Amino acid sequence: MHDLTLAELAEALASRACSSEELTTHLLARIEQHDGELNSLITVDADNALAAARQADAERSAGRAGRLTGVPLIHKDIFLTAGVRTSCGSRMLKNFVPPFDATVVERCRQAGMVMLGKANMDEFAMGSSNETSYFGPVRNPWDLTRVPGGSSGGSAAAVAAGFAPVATGTDTGGSIRQPAALCGITGLKPTYGRVSRFGMIAFASSLDQAGVFARSAEDAALLLQAMAGFDPRDSTSAELAVPDYAAALTQPLAGLRIGVVDEFFGEGLDAGVAGALEAAIGVLQGLGAEVTRVHLPQLGLSVPTYYVIAPAEASSNLSRFDGVRYGYRCEAPKDLEDLYKRSRSEGFGAEVKRRIMIGTYVLSAGYYDAYYLKAQRCRRLITDDFRRAFEQVDVLVAPSAPEVAFRLGEKADDPLKMYLSDINTIAVNLAGLPGISVPAGQIQGLPVGLQLIGRHFEEARLLNVAHQFQRETDWHRQRPARFA
């Protein structure tokens, strides 16, 4: 059962080929057996999962089931879950139990889905390898000596290893698309505002976006359907109708204009990755798509722009964790100043403290105009490049990551080298666009990801292109041998 897709499991449950309780029991046993190798989950909520599965079976017997009723999933540990620990991968929130659900969690529960547990992640979503978690690094199911990507590496590894058919994640600078590529699964970052951020612990508020990990584009469409839509509790939520994503999957690609971004295929791209991507583009051409070359002249500004804006917003958002209201508090503080200093010094890890320091610096008097304001202007230039590109084409194509999964510890001591891991994904967040990564090949047994980028709120088109590509290829059906 662990090898079935979300769509296949939904059909099996509807036909009574299996019950939700049987499926949930199977996946919980699989997690218990194998997650010691991966460390992909922080919390396994077995008792509540089985109770929810039994309730789902009862709803189905009573004729009140929806398509996703009884299907298990895993939530990234950045989403608040009422009564279940939400740590954000940090010592600061090691024992925090929220009193309410995030909107994403609430909507998945309303769809009848069963939460198995909470996925490991880079601390406060800051990282590109899932090595900054207080609970230890996550390992890649394809090679346990390599990283799964980050910050949503736990969610990606769990889906790739068959612990759940789907999982939620968040993407601030590529934290869904990059780990999806490195773990050989499908990862969708929706348009900023398409999925509510209410109850999602903030890193960089103008960049963070909840999204989906799945085996296929079809599965991603089904889960996004349940999650998406306006939420009055989120001031950045878009008040737009949600299309039927599954209905759009079968549209032919004849006449679709695809733009290959030259700047993504330049220096720094692994030759093997480039070769796999060229073959993938050929598949899209074979399906009738028209392929042209396009330029994003300001793309080179994306990494420095992001690493001014994101730390600045993190500095502001994380100021609430002070040892007073909730979260970690140091032992026996001498006075209030000592409480603040020691609680934050002991509660946050090195990468989080590094970004807080950078953010505080660029927001400080005398440097705000020189750094933060200039970065916002660069962000506009990058967004305008995308706007002009979409006047020529319908979808942009790029590598999801410049290389396959790198080894654990390989970049841990070089922050700049680590930051460049997201070089192919950051610009999409700066512009607020949707993007999806799908498996498109392998190099020495390690997955390669193809990234598709669309206009604002055109997730349906991206899912359509990804689905048609997956009908012609079987890379998304490949499984790590160790977790077959």
Tokens of 420: 């460049």
Q: Match 């951020």 to its residue by tokens.
A: 197
Nearest to 123 by CA among 90, 164, 170: 90
Rounded to whole angstroms, the Cα distance separating 437 from 430 reads 17
How many Cβ atoms from other residues are within 10 Å of residue 451's Cβ? 29
- Cβ neighbors of 417 (< 8 A, separation 6 or more) are 411
Cβ-in-10-Å burial (0-12, 13-18, 19+) of 448 comes to: buried
Q: Which two tokens stand for residue 173?
A: 């600078």
User: From residue 340, how far is each of 319, 321, 334, 346 by CA, in Å?
Assistant: 10, 9, 11, 10
Euclidean distance between CA atoms 357 and 349, whole angstroms: 12
Work out the number of other CB atoms within 10 angstroms of the CB of residue 260. 18
Q: Which two structure tokens, joined as six digits, stand for 291?
A: 């392929």
Active site residues: 76, 151, 175
246, 225 Cβ separation under 8 angstroms: yes
Spatial distance between the Cα atoms of 442 and 406, rounded to a whole number of angstroms: 14
The span from the CA of 236 to the CA of 464, in Å, is 26
